[in-house]
Chains A and B, each alone.
Chain A
Amino acid sequence: MSKKVLMRGSQAIGEAAVRAGCRFYAGYPITPQNELTEYMAEAMDGLNDGTFIQAESELAAINMVIGASMAGARAMTSSSSPGISLKQEGISFLAAQELPAVIVNTMRGGPGLGNIAPSQSDYFQATRGGGHGDYRTIVLAPASGQELADLTRTAFEYADKYRSPVLILGDGMMGQMMEPIVFPEPIDVRTFSPKSWILDGAKGRPSRIILSLLLNPPEQEDLNWRLARKYEIITREIPMSESYMTSDANMIVIAYGTAARIAKGAVKRVRELGLKVGLLRPITLWPFPNRPLKELSRHVREFLVFEMNMGQMIDDVKLALEGRGNVHFYGRPGGIISTPDEIAKTINSIYHRQHLEED
């Protein structure tokens, strides 16, 4: 039986990755996520089949992950916003070469070097692909220590299942927070079924090629179609969200990650005042959980998007609502952490301005 352990978020990702069978990690120091890199250094050291490399650059780290993934390992790298920008070349190649990999982004304030405070500045970058070319990346947005652990396991499963890079999107606050976590049992990597496409030497089989250069336009088009069909399946199979007090609500707050935790506190507060407000928390940011929002739009008119940025999720919310309802926004960028009180005040003012108490 697994028992509860108290652990920092960053380290929880590391522990969950090892338990998910991750045997290759390459990373480069950047705040606020060094605890994860350091955890992986120690964890891999303790395994006789694990590799840890402190790479010379973010680029090298993601490219080492490409190599490890080609060779069949469950591989991971992690960084924070500016570092993730540097990794985008490799993420595009992972998508094109259909290689599984897990990439953790502990977001900080930006653009540019920004700061090292918790932020959600990379929603666009994460959900729109980030690198060049016609592709998508699965994006998971945990909101608690437990979820960091659970979704790390999920990330590796999705990466292998869909042969795709999977991004875990967190922030420095989540990474630092100590929370009790129950970890899933470790997987014995020897029980993984062999992958039919890896490069491990053409012994007793035809040689294999993993590539992304498709000079012939019809071949490139074929890849794009294959990817598009895969993305369609992913969009059908994996959207995840949490609904909190939404059944009788006439106003819905939409927030993910750390912002969702703050928003939940705000919802509790306004509920005490008798306001019928609920929270919809996307857990997958791509694919976006359209269905629950669409369903809510049948009886809810007011929606408030709360993010720790200048409103990068609004477009996705509007697309999900298909023009129904009013979409409001409240955001604090730059690493400012709102209080539940602050959000509660915003909810309150919209609630009364729209005369929802009369509903």
Chain B
Amino acid sequence: MAKKIFQRPKYLKKAVFHYCPGCGHSILHRLVAEVLEELDIGERTIGIPPAGCAVLAYNYFDVDMGEAPHGRGAAVATGVKRTLPDRIVFSYQGDGDIAAIGTAETIHAANRGENITVIFVNNGCYGMTGGQMAPTTLIGQNSTTTPGGRDVKRDAAPIDLSEMLAIARGSVYIERTAISSPKNIRRTKRALTKAFKTQMAGLGFSLIEVLSPCPVNWKMSPVDAAKWIDDTMTQTFPLKVIKDEVGKLD
């Protein structure tokens, strides 16, 4: 009998992603679903999708999903987790959602040490609304609201949300990874696994920031977008474990 070596993960629905070709969300969704399956937690997981391109995540993840207002993912996740402490709760949020309109909710959830996992997708722009400047847009990067490139004086410098969250006393595990190469994708999956394990062990707030290609708004081919992450985006947002108070988890 033929051996199946690649199949749809258990916790992804039989639906076709609406994401643009080369978009990081598709790969990241798959990784999250794989991790939920490998850790055997999908049946007790509640996911909180954001406003933005990934708002339709509830059509893809085959776990209970409850949509949060724009930016409020960490607050909604807090309410779910405190009510059902033995369930696994994650929010999935874009850069505008988490680092602009939802900064306060995120920082305070981290500071309270809420035992939730936050997946922070950083693609340096507002994807769904058509490529406006995000809090994470790089200096000099073009967007529809920074036509000549982001200017520090006019538009401020990009925000290092993950580093800010690492200062929060309640956060225990924060890592920045990327969807840019097989190696970085494997690293992203390892980080996600550790983040969910952190929550399973009841250790506190975990967050994985994922640099993710948005070829459409970057006006690049998927291949160039991946290269741009590795060559340029990581200069501002270096891939690294930003905080680890967890250590090794089985």
Contact = CB atoms under 8 A, between A and B. Distances in A.
A binds B: yes
A67 B64 contact: no
Contacts of B112: 53
Interface in B93-132: 104-105, 107-108, 112
A97 interface: yes
B75 A64 contact: yes
Contact of B76 (A63, A201, A202): A63
A275 interface: no
B72 A63 contact: yes
B73 to A, nearest CB: 9
**Which has the most chain A C-beta neighbours within 10 Å: B42, B43, B44, B64?**
B64
Nearest to B83: A71
Nearest to B13: A207
A277 interface: no
Contacts of A10: none
Interface residues of B, number: 38
B80 to A, nearest CB: 4
B171 to A, nearest CB: 15
A75 B43 CA distance: 24
Q: Give the bracket for the number of chain A residues in contact with chain B.
A: 35 or more
A62 B63 CA distance: 24
B87 interface: yes
Interface in A236-281: none
A51 B78 CA distance: 11
A67 B67 contact: no
Interface in A20-71: 23-24, 26, 51, 53, 55-57, 59-61, 63-71
Given A68-B83, A71-B83, A199-B80, A60 B66 contact: no
A63 B105 contact: yes
Interface in B38-88: 42-46, 48, 51, 55-56, 58-59, 61-69, 72, 75-84, 87-88
Contacts of B105: 56-57, 59-60, 63
Interface string B188-209: 0000000000000000000000
A201 B44 contact: yes
Given A59-B105, A67-B83, 10 more contacts: A51-B82, A51-B83, A55-B108, A61-B75, A64-B82, A67-B80, A68-B79, A71-B83, A208-B65, A213-B51
Interface of B: 42-46, 48, 51, 55-56, 58-59, 61-69, 72, 75-84, 87-88, 104-105, 107-108, 112
